[in-house]
Structure 1
Amino acid sequence: MRAEAIIFDVDGTLAETEEIHRLAFNETFTHFGLDWYWNRPLYRQLLDITGGKERIRAFVANHRAPDGPRALEQVAEMHAAKTEIYTQLVAEGAARLRPGVLRLITEAKDKGVRLAIATTTSLPNVEALLQAAFGMPSSSIFEVIGAGDIVAAKKPAPDIYRHVLDELRMPTFACIAIEDSRNGLDSARAAGLPTLVTPSIYTSHQSFPGALAVVPDLDTPPVSLDTIAKWRAADAGW
């Protein structure tokens, strides 16, 4: 059965954006006078925590961060500043869509498949990426965008997917999710969604039990609506 809607994650799924987020965090820490630096191995660990504000709090709690108490009082301001830095970097061309993303989205639009987003990243981050990648507002491409703090419990909780499904007014069996991380997979699966995983540079070490399929990207092999339909037909759980 062909999917009637595709729900995309954003960071690591639509584009390899996590490295841009890491750079934006580090620049923000400098602006706030914090002697913090998140290198790639550390950031890979911190990505187990979804949400930028939550990631800062986890770093303070678990890594004996210098000036931790002061930073906790400024989490909201720091996250807002980081978002400004990130969106500027994206607007300047720092992020590109992953292979096959544009092709699959174009096919879906041409064949009347509805498109949505379910992400823990903030709405300005989503809008900046989609404007830079497509040259048009996000609402012109995606019918529903669930982002940021629109739900209280972030991935791996299923809340953001349930919110998007409610907005689409569609049953889970008619949809498919596309994710790049274990947290995202667990979130989508807990909401009842068959889930395709395309691991990113920061999640390639993770395992993905229960995924409909795991492929390097949407071009390896070329993933189409027919490909997804075949995977769904072959999956005994769906």
Structure 2
Amino acid sequence: MSEKLRALLFDVDGTLADTERDGHRVAFNRAFAEAGLDWNWSVELYGELLAVTGGKERIRHFLERYHSGFEAPPDLAGFVAGLHAAKTRHYVRMLTEGGIPLRSGVERLLKAASTAGLRLAIATTTTPDNVTALLASTLGEEGAALFECIGAGDVVPAKKPAPDIYLYVLEKMGLDPAECVAFEDSENGLRSALGAKLKTIVTTNDYTRGHDFGGAALVVDRLGEPGEPFELIDGDPAGAEYVDLDLVRRVHGHQ
């Protein structure tokens, strides 16, 4: 007999909110301009760079793959860290201005889960400041309090698709993966969750729709709302038109 569902674990970027194209990408470009660099990450290029998880890692990959002629300063690590810190500052400012809403169905599901006594956690590669700013701008100052554990940034050395961030959250919460369902939006995120032996629901976005989601328990284009149904991509929603707690429990293995 499988374990009772006790917790929902959420990725952030692309899962809770469509933060990548019009959030992080724009913030990176603002940081580059501020530093006097003529780099500009287009929508298409950023889609390719998203294959690398982690902002600092993404900058390094850009230099190695797309800008190998750049004369790097002696302290490359410090240079990259400075750019990333500036990017985070610009991103947080964008959030505080209310420019990035939660995705369809996210607030409804979070509040229903909290009311039902399910434990909530974040498992992401983005920085803690980005997470708390997003939660505050969309759910209010108490938004972060909905989550018992926020696993974010560099608390683990290996980022997604490694399972480390999920393993960190599970350990902090004293949970078995069989007691949880994870929510992701990308192939790297799914691989991370599956590596931690978590059943996973995927909500795709424009950047990730073509990813390989083999192994996911359910793949839809959004959580959806009553009257605003999801588009089913893979899996059996048992007749449901949006992701609610009943469907999550069915996915987990319990009614």
Specify which of 165, 189, 202 is matched with residue 197 of structure 1. 202
Work out the CA distance in 2 between the residues paired with 1:94 and 1:198: 21
1:5 aligns to 2:10 (yes or no): no
Indicate the residue corresponding to 1:158 in structure 2.
163
Indicate the residue corresponding to 1:167 in structure 2.
172
1:228 aligns to 2:248 (yes or no): yes
Give runs of aligned pairs for residues 111-150 of structure 1, distance below 5 A.
Answer: 111-150=116-155
**Counterpart of 2:147 in 1: which secondary structure?**
coil
5+ residue gaps, structure 1, are none
Q: 1:24 to 1:168 in 2, by over 3 A?
A: same
Work out the CA distance in 2 between the residues paired with 1:65 and 1:111: 52
Structure 1 counterpart of 2:64, one-letter code: A
Give runs of aligned pairs for residues 175-190 of structure 1, distance below 5 A.
Answer: 175-190=180-195
Report 1 or 2 for greater relative contact order, CA contacts < 8 Å, sequence distance ≥ 6.
1
Indicate the residue corresponding to 1:25 in structure 2.
28
1:87 aligns to 2:92 (yes or no): yes
Is the 1:10–1:119 contact (alpha carbons within 8 Å) kept by the matching residues of 2?
yes
Is the 2:201–2:219 contact (alpha carbons within 8 Å) kept by the matching residues of 1?
yes
Q: How many residues align?
A: 234
Structure 1 counterpart of 2:157, one-letter code: A
What root-mean-square deviation, in Å, do the aligned CA atoms of Structure 1 and Structure 2 show?
1.5
Shift of 1:222: 1.4
Give runs of aligned pairs for residues 71-82 of structure 1, distance below 5 A.
Answer: 72=76, 73-82=78-87
**Counterpart of 1:149 in 2: which secondary structure?**
helix
Is the 1:60–1:68 contact (alpha carbons within 8 Å) kept by the matching residues of 2?
no
Is the 2:180–2:198 contact (alpha carbons within 8 Å) kept by the matching residues of 1?
yes
**Counterpart of 1:6 in 2: which secondary structure?**
strand
Percent identity between the two aligned chains: 48
Work out the CA distance in 2 between the residues paired with 1:233 and 1:192: 14
Work out the CA distance in 1 between the residues paired with 2:123 and 2:171: 12
Is the 2:31–2:87 contact (alpha carbons within 8 Å) kept by the matching residues of 1?
yes
Normalising by the residue count of structure 1, what TM-score does the alignment of the two structures yield? 0.94
**Counterpart of 1:210 in 2: which secondary structure?**
coil
**Counterpart of 2:141 in 1: which secondary structure?**
coil
Is the 1:36–1:65 contact (alpha carbons within 8 Å) kept by the matching residues of 2?
no
Is the 1:36–1:66 contact (alpha carbons within 8 Å) kept by the matching residues of 2?
no
Shift of 1:68: 4.7
5+ residue gaps, structure 2, are 225-229, 231-240
Is the 2:29–2:40 contact (alpha carbons within 8 Å) kept by the matching residues of 1?
yes
Specify which of 56, 59, 63 is matched with residue 56 of structure 1. 59
